[in-house]
Amino acid sequence: MTWLITGGAGYIGAHVARAMTDAGERVLVLDDLSAGHPARLPSGIPLVEGSSLDGDLLKRVLAEHAVTGVVHLAARKQVGESVAQPTRYYRENVGGLTTLLEAVAEAGIKRFVFSSSAAVYGNPDVDLITEDTECAPVNPYGETKLAGEWLVRAAGRAHGIATVCLRYFNVAGAAAPELADTGVFNIVPMVFDRLTRDEAPRIFGDDYPTPDGTCIRDYIHVADLAEAHLAAARRLTAADASGDLTVNIGRGEGVSVRELITVIG
């Protein structure tokens, strides 16, 4: 087996690349390095600099490296940016996935893991979100992830590709310092950024119907998320692998924003 990991030099992607390599899987990475860093990758992992929008490059990489499975993480992922630049998000997230699936189908590859997002659910009024909860994304980022799932499943049915879509919640942590999230967009790095500047962390919204008034979220450590991607990839190598799976990845235990800030501080 040889797995292509798109976006594999990014924060989550590099953790996936390391987890799969440590488990003995053969991997290579495709990344345009707009948010990824080559230094995150373990030595020996081939890195191809390029975009999933480049169909000719994809076909060449899949053929030259005899790729037999794909783990697709490459995507733009900032909610606010997606609201300001929706066409860019649809072009890169959905268009890039379309181009990749076309190359995968042409190459006869039969295993595909799609790194989706719990953003497909929007803001459901339920205590526990399951895979059967209605999908109603509230921003273009979530819309592109849901459209991506539809596309992955349709391509899987049409071309006999076994697929897994992973919907995960709020990602935090790092397995090693060099793998840390360098962007200040998610709550944990935002809190650390404020603290390192001797400023108090800011809380947006303190009137939620929760014990301390702040939003409760499910946080998953990025190393656990990487292991989930590895498990999904290995599930697709099983003798009975077929059809499609959709799986939520989380701890199933909520933590409020105020509780999280207290732990970090």
Is residue 208 flagged as an active site residue?
A: no
Half-sphere exposure of 222 (CA within 13 A, CB side): 21
Choosing from 141, 168, 208, 219, the catalytic residue is: 141
What is the DSSP-derived secondary structure letter of residue 212?
A: T
Q: How far is CA 65 from the centre of its chain?
A: 23
| N-terminal to C-terminal alpha carbon distance within the chain | 44
Contact predicate 88/57, CB 8 Å:
no
3-state secondary structure 129-171: CCCCCCCCCCCHHHHHHHHHHHHHHHHHHHHCCEEEEEEECEE
Q: Do the strands 216-221 and 254-256 form a parallel or antiparallel pair, or are they unpaired? A: antiparallel
Query: Would you mind telling me the total number of residues written for the chain in this entry?
Result: 265
* Active site (catalytic) residues: 141
